[in-house]
Amino acid sequence: MSFQYGSDSIDIPNPFKREGLLSLASGLVWTVLGAISVLMLRSRILDSGSAAGWVSLIVSLLLLGIGVRYLVNGLLKIFRFYVGRGIPASLAKNLASSESLTVEPELMYEAKHLEQMLVGRKNPTFNEPSTLIERLVFSIFPKFLFLPYPIRNYIQIIVHKAAYSLMFLFVFIIAVLSGSVGLTKLVDSSYPQWMGLIMSILLLIIWRPASVTIKKINRLRIESIKLNGVITMTILAVLVPVVFEVLLKKGVGIPEAPLDPTVYLVTAVILMLVTTLDALFMAKKRADMLDPRTEVSEYMDNWQENVHPKDIFISFDREMAKSRYKEMPNRIYCEMKPELIMEGSMDKGSFTGDTIQETQPIYEEVKYPAIYSIMRLATSAFGHLLICLSALLLFLNNRDLPDLTAFKPIMDTFYLPLLLWSFGSIAVNIAHIAWAEINFKSILIYFKGEGTYTESKLSYGMAITDSARSENVVVRTSIAPTLIVSDITSCTFACLGPYNLKRARYVMDMRKADAVLDEIVKGIRGFLESRQVIANAASEKDIDSMGNLYNLNRVSPAANLAAQMPDPILGAAARQENSLGSGSMQLDAGPVSVDPETGNENG
């Protein structure tokens, strides 16, 4: 579950409320029409028991079932949007011990990718287009390259659908024009009607809405349209008129088409063009807002400190703990495990260690242009309008259902409702992806330390009169730290359910963070300068004990003997004066003894 309760959690408003109200309206229309249809058909089924009556009942139940589905979906979108302390998803695998039980189903990057971002000043999120059609579109709209994967993928899917459709239309129009000028005999037959009918069915199949949903669109990579599909569609589009022309030349008669597909074909083409242009327009307006950078703030220096190497890494962890947002632990993508390497002896060696961490992402409300917000709402409303019209047409056709054993009644009854529902669902899905985008701000940090260390002993209190002694092993560390900091903007696409904000998150922008860098360096330096090298008494009890020992030493024989010993400097001066023969003082060379009990001199 993405919801992890905490009394101080991130506050993110529900992005789906308006969309949920539109879903409720559509669900209400479908449900009411389905209920009315069921009530009207009850007497018809009981009286006649015809097959058409049972088909009408199935259609009525379908209306009712789809209506309930839209109602439930709308209610879920307007209900409370649960946001806990575990959101959003991490960029890579989070190695923090406090998050070991957190489930993250989609991770966009690995730790090595994040290191490449910061050290190499590049963003691997943005991949160049691969297919011919995609390169054409990206040449017209260069900033499409910087769109998040879901938006890029649905644009690619819709553009390829439109390309396939236009390819068939182009071949169909060329075949009709060639017949009009006498190059072929296609116009003299029922070929245009059959081809129009085939085109209408193909457009319905091509524009099925299943592939343009937030669940179906790949969120971890850019979709790759296989070349085999393009080749197959091209060959099929070219061969169909050729086969018809060959049959006509051999005298094979082409039967009359069961219906005139002009209305169906024109409606499908208009909806296709409106949907494609709407998707491209919305994507362009979103892309125009993007100005991605790959900037970082970097600090490199050489320090020499009397501290253990691990203390430097501990000080970095301490500074990172200060930057927590609402006491949420930072994301750790590369654990900091300093490695000490001894070189020939136990008192010297080298060390290295690095880590990649990210502060808790903070929700950032994006100020969209007015035209984008209007188009997002209008696209969603347009899609639901088509869905409601589909329900109305299906309801009207179901009131007097004809014999469905022929092809024409089936097309007249179901084609337009299916066509309107397909394009309406695609429009709703496009708007849903736009509603679902959530942006965050965070600090991404890379720290690496490497250098050498040596150990030496430092002793204080070694004089004969000292009552306390401090012996210390001092580690002299020379380190070359590298600290790279970037203020990143990332986005994810929310959905309904337990993993509403646990989908893949994309790094969209990288900016300098000089203030954060200076604060971290200042904190580490302050921590190292406050380190104590010489051990001493830290508590009042220890100070009292040392005072007692000092008083005891004052009355000890060693202290009295030290007090009576001549000053080394003055004694040397006196000996030098006597050796020169100045003065009449005679030195007594007799023996002098010291009483071991009283400490007095004898002699």
Same-domain status, 283 and 310: no
The rounded distance, in Å, linking the Cα atoms of 75 and 87 is: 23
Judged by average pLDDT, the poorest of 20-24, 226-230, 246-250, 457-461 is 226-230
Same-domain status, 507 and 521: yes
Same-domain status, 273 and 347: no
Quote the pLDDT of residue 385: 96
Find the length of the chain.
603
Quote the pLDDT of residue 579: 46
The rounded distance, in Å, linking the Cα atoms of 92 and 125 is: 13
Choose among 118, 119, 138: nearest CA to 127: 138
Residue 220 placed within a domain: yes
The rounded distance, in Å, linking the Cα atoms of 468 and 550 is: 8
In this model, does residue 577 exceed pLDDT 60?
no
- Residue-wise pLDDT tens digits, 313-325: 888 988 898 888 8
Cα-flanking dihedrals φ and ψ of residue 456, to 5°? -150, 160
The rounded distance, in Å, linking the Cα atoms of 403 and 413 is: 10
Q: Can you list the positions of beta strands (E) in 519-599?
A: 593-594
Which one has a higher pLDDT value, 571 or 499?
A: 499
In this model, does residue 586 exceed pLDDT 50?
no
Which of these three, 251, 274, 291, is where a domain ends? 291
Same-domain status, 256 and 353: no
Q: Which residues are CB-contacts of 202 (< 8 A; sequence separation ≥ 6)?
A: 165, 168
- Residue-wise pLDDT tens digits, 148-195: 988 988 888 898 889 888 888 887 777 677 666 555 666 666 777 888
Beta bridge partners of residue 482, listed in sequence order: 300, 448
Same-domain status, 304 and 211: no
**pLDDT-derived band of residue 384, with 50, 70 and 90 as boundaries?**
very high
Residue 331 placed within a domain: yes
Quote the pLDDT of residue 131: 77
User: Looking at residues 79-101, what average pLDDT do you find?
Assistant: 83
Which one has a higher pLDDT value, 447 or 13?
A: 447
In this model, does residue 580 exceed pLDDT 50?
no
Quote the pLDDT of residue 497: 75
Same-domain status, 270 and 175: yes
Instruction: Give the DSSP H/E element, type plus range, for residue 371.
Output: helix 370-399
Quote the pLDDT of residue 96: 86
Same-domain status, 155 and 237: yes
Quote the pLDDT of residue 343: 75
Quote the pLDDT of residue 347: 76
**pLDDT-derived band of residue 1, with 50, 70 and 90 as boundaries?**
very low
Per DSSP, the three-state class of 474 is strand
Average pLDDT value over all residues in the chain: 81
What is the count of structural domains for the chain? 3
**pLDDT-derived band of residue 519, with 50, 70 and 90 as boundaries?**
very high
Same-domain status, 352 and 223: no
Residue 157 placed within a domain: yes
- Residue-wise pLDDT tens digits, 33-51: 999 888 887 666 655 556 6
Quote the pLDDT of residue 219: 62
User: Looking at residues 106-114, what average pLDDT do you find?
Assistant: 91
Same-domain status, 187 and 309: no
Which of these three, 269, 291, 313, is where a domain ends? 291
Same-domain status, 464 and 562: no
User: Looking at residues 127-150, what average pLDDT do you find?
Assistant: 88
In this model, does residue 594 exceed pLDDT 50?
no
Query: What percent of the chain is modeled with pLDDT above 90?
Result: 37
User: Looking at residues 73-91, what average pLDDT do you find?
Assistant: 85
Averaging pLDDT over each range in 83-97, 226-240, 528-542, which range is the top one?
83-97
Which one has a higher pLDDT value, 468 or 28?
A: 28
The rounded distance, in Å, linking the Cα atoms of 274 and 162 is: 11
Question: What residue numbers bound the domain in which 137 lies?
Answer: 127-291
Same-domain status, 445 and 488: yes
User: Looking at residues 444-467, what average pLDDT do you find?
Assistant: 78
- Residue-wise pLDDT tens digits, 343-357: 767 778 888 999 999
Alpha carbon of 139 to those of 142, 143, 224, 226, 289: distances in Å? 5, 9, 18, 20, 18
The rounded distance, in Å, linking the Cα atoms of 44 and 118 is: 72
Q: Is the dihedral of CA 518, 524, 527, 532 positive or negative?
A: negative
Global confidence as pTM = 0.80
Quote the pLDDT of residue 325: 83
Which one has a higher pLDDT value, 538 or 101?
A: 101
In this model, does residue 303 exceed pLDDT 70?
yes
In this model, does residue 268 exceed pLDDT 50?
yes
Residue 271 placed within a domain: yes
In this model, does residue 12 exceed pLDDT 70?
yes
279 within 8 A of 372, measured Cβ to Cβ: no
Which one has a higher pLDDT value, 195 or 432?
A: 432
